[in-house]
Amino acid sequence: MRAFRKVTGLVAPLNKNNVDTDQIIPKQFLKSVERKGLKAGLFYGWRFTPDGREVADFVLNLPQYQGASILVTGANFGCGSSREHAVWALDDFGFRAIIAPSFADIFRTNCFKNGLLPVVLDPQTVHRIMERALSGSGYRLTVDLEDQTVTDKEGLEARFDIEPFQKRRLLEGLDDIGLTLVYSAQIEAYERLHPVPFFMEEQTN
């Protein structure tokens, strides 16, 4: 997965609490096991009418938010079912970081596993960021994982907490497979010391 160190980008405001994973990526898009192409289904029920036309005033359809790489939203983002497709869709759409007062636990874990940084800030700071993003003036933020800060050019500087393990995996771009391969030398050494018995080799061939 892509490593995350520092991102400076346009902020898109989704001013809603309790956005669940079915709203992020509806169930009809869960047939795919590929991580690419899911951006078409992101917030589908909000971005499009039942007959497939764009909803003109939905935030991600507005021209001033095209190309946003940071999403600011309300509390308990990513609640509901544990579908990993929700994170895949956000990533495929181009988001690298999501800022909210709180996240659903499983969704937050899925973010770390896929290179998307969930940033928890206090409600007052999130409200300030939301207001500036809603102005539609091209508001941008810098999210620095190494320093654990969120800053803008208007004097905002907020620190966020992150577990050292999750910070490391994002900085080094380690998904679950990558974390295992870090120990490949030890795994190979163990296998040399514990060869597969002959009768088991026969069964596996």
- Which residue ranges form the domains of the chain, and what is each CATH number? 6-173 (3.20.19.10)
Sequence-distant (6+) residues with CB within 8 A of 16 are: 73, 74
H/E element, 186: helix 184-193
How would you write the pLDDT of the chain (205 residues) with one tens digit per residue? 889 999 999 999 999 999 999 999 999 998 877 778 899 999 999 999 999 999 999 999 999 999 999 999 999 999 999 899 999 999 999 999 999 999 999 999 999 999 999 999 999 999 999 999 999 999 999 999 999 999 999 999 999 999 999 999 999 998 765 665 555 566 666 666 767 665 555 555 5
Burial class (CB in 10 A: 0-12, 13-18, 19+), 186: exposed
CA distance 10 to 68: 5
Residue 33 is predicted with a pLDDT of 72
Task: Report how far residue 62's alpha carbon sits from residue 92's, in angstroms, rounded to the nearest whole number.
Answer: 18
CB 69 within 8 Å of CB 76: no
Give 90's contacts (C-beta < 8 A, 6+ positions apart).
24, 42, 71, 98, 116
Structure tokens given for 66: 């095209």
Cα 50 to Cα 55: distance, rounded to the nearest angstrom: 10
Extract the tokens encoding 152.
């803008």
